[in-house]
Amino acid sequence: MSTSSGNTYNPDDSRVNVVIRLCGVMFFALGFAMTYETYAEAGIDTIQPPLIPVLYLCSVMLMLAGLVALFAKYKASGAPKSP
């Protein structure tokens, strides 16, 4: 099967792209859930106050990694380069 750009379709690369994006969604969801839980628990004083900024930083890093994985384009290292 050939695409309009002349490249051949590789199902293995397509599967890897899907897995990378699913991991991105999971990381983003985990970061969002961590942010929500930190916000909810910080209001009722069950988390030590010095720990709250660290938890927010970790959740932001998870969400950022998830967004990068969502927009990343996988390219196999052994793939031939197009002219």
Tens digit of each residue's pLDDT (9 = 90 or more) over 29-63: 999 999 999 888 877 777 788 888 999 999 999 99
Please report whether residue 50 resides in a domain. Answer: yes
Please report whether residue 31 resides in a domain. Answer: yes
DSSP one-letter string for 37-66: HHHHHHTTT-S-GGGHHHHHHHHHHHHHHH
Please report whether residue 82 resides in a domain. Answer: no
- For the chain, how many structural domains are there in total? 1
Please report whether residue 54 resides in a domain. Answer: yes
Rg for the chain (alpha carbons), in Å? 19
Task: Calculate what percentage of the chain has a pLDDT beyond 70.
Answer: 76
Please report whether residue 29 resides in a domain. Answer: yes
Please report whether residue 20 resides in a domain. Answer: yes
CA dist., res. 34 & res. 55, Å (int): 8
Please report whether residue 79 resides in a domain. Answer: no
Please report whether residue 76 resides in a domain. Answer: no
